[in-house]
Structure 1
């Protein structure tokens, strides 16, 4: 397909900040490549609101439970003692980073890739075709229209 934008999404949990390391440093300006935490939180609330409307508490997402990356309970020991636990990235086919989201005291939750997707779609031409590559993209299917 001509003019199709192909991007990939994934979380990286090697970029962590230990809580005990402190934050006693000169303030730095967060690069514009990072989504604002308030925007990520807004997308999280949108997903939670959509879940409460369309799903009962008894419903589970079997697809998410089947993937280690989506099951952040499995990785709790990884980020124990960390305040920043990783970053979620959106890269083009040339491996250039388009956007990043800071993962704060959690694992790879749905609102991180959704925030990156929504931001990208807001910033490109409205009718441009986009392909997303994401290892647990099947868990995003029901939220893509938010």
Structure 2
């Protein structure tokens, strides 16, 4: 499958994923149930991921990653000084999951939303739909390929 993972680059950027090397990074802190369900139930090892930088000066798709470890208990839910701490979580009831993401490639430039919207084949891409705020969302193989093609331009 193919995915878009949205991240704030100050927290975890495509460069951070690259710097992590073969160990990859733990993609933690997802606190939306629909996005969690995608991570828990559908994201699989080997899936390809478009990394989308958000809440920053250069919003857009920054590169490609891959899933190197499927869903496991998100450790950040237990860390009291973490932004993602969940006081209701415990060893018996740990609702949040994380995955491990590995680097594939960084794009020569960020692909801004305006550029993506100008590509006819991306009209139905979930990322581009008004009001879509999910941090994890599926995308099609065709949409993924169109983004890769746009990144080469």
Shorter-chain TM band? under 0.3
More strand by share: 2
**Which protein, 1 or 2, shows the higher relative CO under an 8 Å CA cutoff with sep ≥ 6?**
1
TM-score (norm 1): 0.21
TM-score, reference length from structure 2: 0.20
